[in-house]
Structure 1
Amino acid sequence: MKALFSLFPADNFSLIAVVMLMPLLGAFVNGVFGQRLGKPAVRLMALSAIGISFVAAVVTFFALNGVIDASKTTSMVDGHEVTHHAHAKLFWTAWEWMRTSRVVATAGGAKDISVPIDLKFSVDALSGVMMLVVTGVGFLIHVYASSYMEADKAYWRFFAYLNLFVFSMLVLILGDNLAVLFVGWEGVGLCSYLLIGFWYTKTPNAAAGKKAFIANRIGDFGLLVAMFLLVHYTGALDWTGIATNARDLLTPGTGAQVHLWPIGGGQFQDLAIGSLKIPLSFLQPDKPWTITAATAVSIALFLGCTGKSAQIPLYVWLPDAMAGPTPVSALIHAATMVTAGIYLVCRLSFVFVMSPAVMTIIAFTGVATALFAATIALVQNDIKKVLAYSTVSQLGFMFLGVGVGAFTAGFFHVFTHAFFKACLFLGAGSVIHSMHARIHDDDKSQDMRNMGGLRKFMPLTYGTFAAATLAIIGFPLTSGWFSKDEIIASALVNKTTSPYAAELAARKIEIWTAPGWVPWVLWAMAVTAATLTAFYMCRCLFLTFWGDFRGWTIGRPSEDAHAHDEHGDGEGEEADDHHHEEDLTQPGAAPHESPRPMTIPLLILGTASIVAGLLLNPAAIKLFNHHFNFLPMEHWLEPVFEEATKGVGTVAANEAGKHHLEILSLVAALCAFLVGSGVAYWVYVLQAGKPAAELAKKVGGLYNLLLDKWRVDEAYDKTVVAGVDALADTATSVDQGIIDFVLARLTALIVAALGTILRLFQNGVVHVYAAVMVVGMAALGWFFIEPHADVNVTESSNGDYVLSAAPGIGYGYRWYPDSKGAPQAQAFTGTDQLKLHLDEGKSQTVKVEVRNAFGRITTKEIPISRPKVEKPQQIQLGER
């Protein structure tokens, strides 16, 4: 370890650059030279880049563990020795990227303070685990894809995108400030667009890629707003700076109160337009509606998280992401993009806990998404759609965990979910690969109604898929049981409050607290969602692998069937247009197990799906630590969530009450697993699906509604999309009617007409030029003969007004202070100014006559009014 730190000091740990830049190198080489290098070289480059990155990540993780181990301290608490661990980090700074500034009020006035933003990366307990997941699971998916995509002509382009995806995710999780994180955040958004729409000649695939890109841009707006707010209130974007100045998000002295209504804290007054009065004062509330800056920042951050991690209402893009190749689905749904939102909430947990209201919103959004997506997955027949909605549901569980303050449990579910969801998606890809040996039709090859009995033909795929299924449904002692059941228990036991609640109460700042019924509602919804999860995942397992194979008469395989998967050639043409002469009366070849590059990753992921949960168990870690000094996940993450957990309490009156609630939750979660899986076994194994078919006929409307995904996409089409289309049509009409016709064609016509007229005079005839000169001189003479009554009005603060008339040769002036009254002087004088005073709320019309040297007179009236000034009311700050 000493030799490692002599090469890579903790404050300049440049091995982080190797972790990140190797995938970027792979993307560059394959993207630029891959088409000429050939598939073997592309495969070697892609796997080597991710493999070296994973090895460097493991070394970095061991180095981080050494730093954490060296920071251990012990103390005595209630007669017991307690070990504490510092929040250790490894840093690498590339260069100072840019500087921004914030305005700070000081005794000497407003002052600009520079805020540096470095291209800086760091690894701590949180990002270290994510780094291993992204590179480790990402490497397995790359190995799998090297065989799965072998027949695709755009093989080089696929791996260039896939390497770039991993690089972007590493930038996201290793960035030491929000600005660098945002670069990776946008990078994974771009890569998801490229990979989901990889087979861009198929319209649904291209549409799915655009849908993912646009939905994520909506969420990204929230993240940008949060960055501006953080710079304004805390003067920092790096994690340490935000944590140091986090109190400024609650301190009234920094202006950390955001007025929701009236906007900006102003007042509504009745609007007068001439004699017409429009009443607006009724909009003025008795007390301004305000929130703290912490709440505003948390809401903006959470908007970004809902887009990236597919929560209501921005979840609609993730199910369509299955349009891309299956390895892409595994990478997006398991190890990378969709977990970014959870990671950001965990990273800035100390900000979120300052607003219990936002924490409750996060919890309800998560559990509602988990339950909503689970209902859709109940009736889906496409195996990838079932898994896609399962991902949305599991992400909801993660948000529920962090929303109730169980940050370790929520993040641990991210960790375990990466293994079993990657295994499930790759297992589904193995099944689809086998089904494509019989027919080249995407829909039929993914329809579980055409499968069944595959465990006889694909034992390795079945075993790993079953292991991952047991984990996701919470079979005892599997990874999902440790993480998901901990979240469900925390939803019932935890109570979130602001860590500064007492301090804010002393300053008479109201902080919202959740009612007592909230934990019970969250827990009941979570248990229901867990029950549905057990049902639809067991349904997926039974329909795919149990019973008899229902695809014997789907069709005969073509001669090159084994060389195809779920796609065409990837370059805009289908490999053989999927048109084959099929003899539906004769059985085709039997399904087959996938090649070793596809099954080996499945075996590793399936094993991890079973045993990864033990990393949360201190006893298991103790056995493992015979050679390595690692901490259980809960203690490993303690320093990261130390500040956040100060705002997390319990609804129980004492430890005994808390223990009873935990036992109740454990029993309920076990019942959810037993009921969901038991009903699925009875319906689809013992009864061969007859009860489900009969129920679908009885409740056909509800069944079709679930099959159509609650028709949310259709609702969005009728409202949001239709509104955007209408706005686009309006913009098109404006462009065509105003820009093209008025500003372009009409102005061109006017210029052409003027040119035609001018050409009549610019004809080279001298007497025509002389006539024009005569007319011009006459116009100038008329201008100088006529007097000009131009008046400038100057107002002072006390109601005094000075009216100044424009001077001229031989000008005389006669002022009328009241236009209907007598003049100030009967004769014209050289006085070109008039002074007068008006009281508040008064108005007056002044008249002036101007005479020039030729005796011609011009008159002008000038209306003057002084508004009545209302005294502002005192507004007390508070959160409402």
Structure 2
Amino acid sequence: MEALRTLFPASDFTLLAAILALPALGALVNGLFGKRLGKEGVRLMALAALGGSFLASVLTYLLLPAEGKLTWTAWRWISIQGRMGQSIPIDVAFSVDALSGTMMLVITGVGFLIHLYSSEYMKNDPGFHRFFAYLNLFCFAMLTLVMGDNLAMLFVGWEGVGLCSYLLIGFWYGEDKNAAAGKKAFIVNRIGDFGLLVAMALIVYYVGTLRFDGIQSGASSLLQNVKIWPIGNMSSGTLPGFLHFLLPEQPVTILAATAVGLMVFLGCAGKSAQIPLYIWLPDAMAGPTPVSALIHAATMVTAGVYLVARLSAVFVLSPAALAVVAVTGALTALLAATIGLFQNDLKKVLAYSTVSQLGYMFIGVGVGAFAAGFFHVFTHAFFKACLFLGAGSVIHAIHVRIHDTDRSQDMGNMGGLKAYMPITRWTYLIACFAIAGLPILGSGFWSKDEILWKAFTVDIMAVSAPGVSQWMWPSWLGRAIYWAGVTGAVFTSFYMFRSYFRTFHGEFRGWKIDPTWKDPGHGHGHDDHGHDDHHEEHGEITGPVPHESPLPMTIPLMVLAAFSIGAGFLVAEPIHVAPLAHKLEPVFALSSRAIRQREGTEGLLFPMMLPGIAAFLAGTVGAMVVYQNRRGEPERRFATMFPRLHRLIYDKWRIDELYDATVVGMVDALADIFTIADKWIVDGILAKFTAALVGFFGTVLRAFQTGRVQVYAAAMVLGLVGVGWFMVKPHADATVNDEALRRSGEVKLSAAPGLGYSYRWDTPGVSETTFAKTTEHTVKLDPGETKDVTLRVRNAWGSESSETFTLTRPAGGRRGATEPGALPAPQPPTLPTGTIPAERIPDLIQPKGLQ
């Protein structure tokens, strides 16, 4: 180890470059040369790339110092200017501490198992090489996200996983619903990304850096008030009267830390599928099942939890932001758990389970238990990946005979598979125990109950600052979140074991088993989606004996099932076995100072575990009674007695329909308005009218542009005649000079010269009788007097022209309004508004030049 530390110093740990470069290389090679390499070559390239990255990640984790981190800077990217004029460098830099190092192991370790599983699961898909290029690219983007040493690099990875998610969810883009699911995920995540961008701008403005170390050390700069209303010069008075009640009359301020926390959480809610932006994740099940295991269970959807944990030093400054995170997590956990109760699509059940478990993670980080929330990210990666891959194994078996995608995922076409798929059955059962919280042996028991315990005992202290007042958590909030979590745990146990019993117990409902059945020629793999047969036989069909999946699919299941049990002992606080917690302590050392245990709860650790255990037993036993003993009859009776409620829950509380009627409908209406504007204004007026106008003038000009010399000569003659007429006609024009009007009352007029011009000036009482060459004429005005002066001009050909000028001298010697030749009177000086120093008042009253 010492030799490796010498080879890779902590401040220039170039091994991080290898961890990033290997999956990027795999994506490049498979993307460009995959078809030529063949499926075996693509498999080898993808597995070697991620396997090598995993080994390097393990070595990096072993070399981590007890405190501090390993860093590597590639190059200086850009520099931006802060509000104080300082230069803020943004580097392409990466670092690893206990938090990001653990995430690296999850990404590369679980990712490798999913790559191995996919190599068999997708072997008959025509887009095999494209699929693995996307998977490798996704792992590269996710590693960039967690290894970035600053928010800018994290955002690069953040957008990268969003792009890869879009590509993988819509992988089978030949079907409209799959392409629509990919677009839905992409668009909803862009809403969250807006919040993250705003948060980054606020951090740059107030803290002056995007480096995580700098944000942590300078987080106190966020303890100042920020005005959020009125915006600029806007006020309630600028709004229509019927909207006045919406906005307060007085200015509204919030803490800068609260603004940053809420904007960060908006980004996290989009990426990690929290209310109200959770709607994309269930639709993401349109992608291949390994995609669900990798992106929507083990990595991308947990990026939001990772970011909140990474910025824990900011969140602990704002109890209000933490409350929003925790309450949103609790509501999401409950809502998604209720939707999972009656779903029939096996992948949809797991999708809503993921949304619900993400809610528990946000409860953890929201109550200030950042290590506990992150630990649930860790355990969830194993048992949820195991569940998704187990579901994929089942779907792989069903797809042998039922080639329709939706029907092959319907639990109504499963049942009794424990006799045919023992490895899949046992690994799926172990993962169900883990997520439901089987005491001691289920990893979810340790992580989820740790979160609930922290929620019940939390006491978040407000950080004080001069002139800053903080909102404090009411005493009941933590306990309310605890009981919401316990209720959600009951639902979790129920719907997970409902899926288990309906899939593996009872009688097989897929088809009538015929051991002599032969495949008529359809590809064996589930993922021949490019050739799905959606015209399945109706009524009873016959098919082969269902069989267990091949080793490349069952080996990852067994490894993940083992970690679903063993991972819980990495943070088993009640029995004082918590090596991962000790590893994470330096990361959250600063943040933990703002969190303390509520008085009077010191001896309640083991008693408060009983409700969690009771929730596990209630859900598990309830599912066993309903679906194992009574074959689902209570659910059918419930649907008969309460059809509207059952249908409402089955329809996911019709949240998507609500969005379609409001947000989507509003956007569609706005799009229709702009479509009409584009059609009639842009196309109709700006394009077609202007084109018609140009065409009209072109038609007119074509009548003259005949190419005949006679026509052009005639036009030249007409032009010369016009110019000659202008030159022959006299023009009476003069300039008026009234500079001496105030002093002597004199106004001087100067006539414009011309060829052979002679002039005559006529004023009241004085009229010249002859024309002369005199171009200037002076008029004397008394105060208050007005005179009309007429200029007559005769040219060399005897033609005449005239122009009259009205001159006025204001009474009292001031300049007044004029006709031609007079000047307006000056206005009195305007005093500036606001407070004026007394010594400036004389200068403002007495204008310069009039002393």
TM-score surpassing 0.5?
A: yes
Match of 2:631 among 688, 703, 712: 688
Q: Residue 96 of structure 1 aligns to which amino acid in structure 2?
A: R
Taking the aligned partners of 1:40 and 1:648, their CA distance within structure 2 comes to 53
Is 1:653 aligned to residue 599 of structure 2? yes
- Which of 1 and 2 has higher RCO (CA within 8 Å, sep 6+)? 1
The 3 A distance-change label for structure 1 pair 849 and 93 is same
- Match of 1:25? 25
Counterpart AA for 2:61: F
Question: Which residue is 2:343 aligned to?
Answer: 380
How far apart, CA to CA, are the structure 2 residues paired with 1:696 and 1:787?
A: 98
When structure 1 is superposed on structure 2, of 749-758 and 416-425 the one drifting more is: 749-758
Q: 1:766 to 1:15 in 2, by over 3 A?
A: same
Residue in 1 that maps onto 2:73: 93
- From 414, 429, 432, the counterpart of 1:469: 432
Match of 1:842 in 2: none
* Structure 1 CA distance for aligned equivalents of residues 569 and 414 of structure 2: 34
Deviation at 1:281, TM superposition (A): 9.2
Residue 849, structure 1, aligned to residue 849, structure 2: no
CA distance in 1, matches of 2:584, 2:406: 44
Structure 1 CA distance, aligned partners of 2:365 and 2:727? 80
The correspondence of residues 322-721 of structure 1 with structure 2, limited to 5 A, is 322-477=285-440, 478-498=442-462, 500-501=463-464, 504=465, 507-553=466-512, 559=519, 563-568=523-528, 573-574=530-531, 577=533, 579=535, 582=537, 587-617=542-572, 632-650=579-597, 652-654=598-600, 657-660=601-604, 662-721=605-664
Q: 1:511 to 1:59 in 2, by over 3 A?
A: same
Tell me what 2:51 maps to: 51
Distance 1:186 1:284, change over 3 A: closer
Amino acid at match of 2:484: M
| 1:493-535 deviations in Å (ceiling 9; x for gaps) | 112233x22xx2xx23211112222112211211111111011
Match of 1:183 among 125, 134, 156: 156
Q: Distance in 2 between matches of 1:568 and 1:89?
A: 46
- For 1:30, the aligned partner's letter is N
Describe the superposition over 1:211-253 as per-residue Cα deviations: whole angstroms up to 9, x where unpaired.
Answer: 00111111111111111111111111111111222111114xx
**What amino acid is the match of 1:848?**
T
- Over 3 Å counting, the alpha-carbon distance change for 1:769 and 1:466 in structure 2 is same
Distance 1:833 1:176, change over 3 A: farther
8 Å CA contact 1:298–1:358 kept in 2: the answer is yes
Quickly say closer, same or farther: Cα 1:766–1:309, change in 2 above 3 A: same
| Counterpart residue number, 2:227 | 259
Deviations 1:63-103 (A, max 9, x none): 01xx21xxxxxxxxxxxxxxxxx3x1001111111111112
Q: CA 1:191–1:752 in 2, change beyond 3 Å: closer, same or farther?
A: same
Q: What is the number of equivalent residue pairs in this alignment? A: 775
Q: Distance in 1 between matches of 2:341 and 2:390?
A: 19
Give, in whole Å, the separation in 2 of the partners of 1:704 and 1:863. 77
In the superposition, relative to structure 1, how do residues 757 and 59 fare at CA in structure 2: closer, same or farther (>3 Å)? same
**How many Å separate the matches in 2 of 1:381 and 1:497?**
45
Distance 1:219 1:586, change over 3 A: closer
Deviation at residue 698 of structure 1 after TM alignment: 0.6
Offset of residue 355 of structure 1: 1.1
Contact 1:696–1:703 under 8 Å retained in 2: yes
Inter-partner Cα distance in structure 2 for 1:780 and 1:671:
109
Whole-angstrom distance in 2 between the partners of 1:809 and 1:870: 50
**Contact preservation (8 Å) 1:432, 1:565:** no
1:699-778 correspondence runs (5 A): 699-758=642-701, 764-772=711-719
Q: Match for 1:611: what amino acid?
A: G
Aligned twin of 1:15: 15
Distance 1:493 1:788 in 2: 91
What is the CA deviation profile of residues 741-795 of structure 1, one whole-angstrom value per residue up to 9, with x for unaligned ones?
2222212222233344455566744454444455578789999757899xxxxxx
3-state SS in 2 of match to 1:658: coil
Q: Per-residue displacement from partner, 1:174-207 (whole Å, max 9, x unpaired)?
A: 0101111111101100101111111110111111
SS at match of 1:103: coil
Shift of 1:51: 0.5
Please state how far the C-alpha of 1:353 moved relative to its aligned partner: 1.3
Larger Cα Rg: Structure 1 or Structure 2? 2
Letter in 1 for 2:673: T
Residue 574 of structure 1 aligns with an amino acid whose one-letter code is H
**Residue 831 of structure 1, CA deviation:** 14
2:92 matches 1:145: no
* CA-atom RMSD in angstroms: 3.5
The Cα of 1:709 is off from its aligned counterpart by 0.7
One-letter code of the match for 1:850?
P
Alpha-carbon separation, structure 1, partners of 2:685 and 2:461: 60
Question: Which amino acid is the alignment partner of residue 59 of structure 1?
Answer: L
Q: Which whole-Å deviations, capped at 9, do the CAs of 1:86-136 have from their partners, x for residues lacking one?
A: 3x10011111111111121xxxxxxx2111110000000100000000000
Post-superposition shift, 1:399?
0.4
Q: Does the CA-based 8 Å contact 2:787-2:806 persist in structure 1?
A: no
Contact 1:54–1:132 (CA<8 Å) still a contact in 2?
A: yes
Letter in 1 for 2:526: E
- Distance, in Å, in 1 between the alignment partners of 2:731 and 2:361 is 82
* Compared CA separation, residues 770 and 289, structure 1 to 2 (3 A): same
In the TM superposition, residue 823 of structure 1 has moved relative to its aligned partner by 8.7
Deviations 1:459-486, CA, capped at 9 Å, x for gaps: 1101100000000001101210000011
Task: Indicate the residue corresponding to 1:293 in structure 2.
Answer: 256
TM-superposed deviation, 1:490: 1.2
Deviations 1:278-319 (A, max 9, x none): 899998846410012111111111111000000011100000
**Distance across 1 between alignment mates of 2:180 and 2:4:** 49
CA gap of 1:346–1:281, structure 2 versus 1, over 3 A, is closer
When residues 669 and 270 of structure 1 are mapped into structure 2, their CA distance, relative to the original with a 3 A threshold, is: closer
Contact 2:69–2:97 under 8 Å retained in 1: yes
Alpha-carbon contact 2:513-2:544 (below 8 Å) kept:
no
Equivalent position of 1:838 in the other structure: none
| 2:323–2:366 Cα contact (<8 Å) kept | yes
For 1:540, give the aligned amino acid. S
Contact 2:34 2:42 in 1 (8 A): yes
* Secondary structure of the structure 2 residue equivalent to 1:549: coil
Alpha-carbon distance in 2 for matches of 1:280, 1:206: 40
Aligned pair in 2 of structure 1 residues 261, 833: CA closer, same or farther (>3 Å)? farther
Counterpart contact for 1:399–1:410, Cα < 8 Å: yes
Q: Is the 8 A contact 1:437 1:561 kept in 2?
A: no
Classify the secondary structure of the residue corresponding to 2:559: helix
Q: Which runs of 5+ in 1 are unaligned?
A: 69-85, 105-111, 252-256, 272-276, 623-630, 790-806, 813-821, 836-844, 852-856, 873-880
Task: Give the CA deviation at 1:617.
Answer: 3.1
Partners of 1:782 and 1:619 lie apart in 2 by 110
The whole-number CA distance in structure 1 between the counterparts of 2:816 and 2:342 is: 81
Aligned letter for 1:595? P
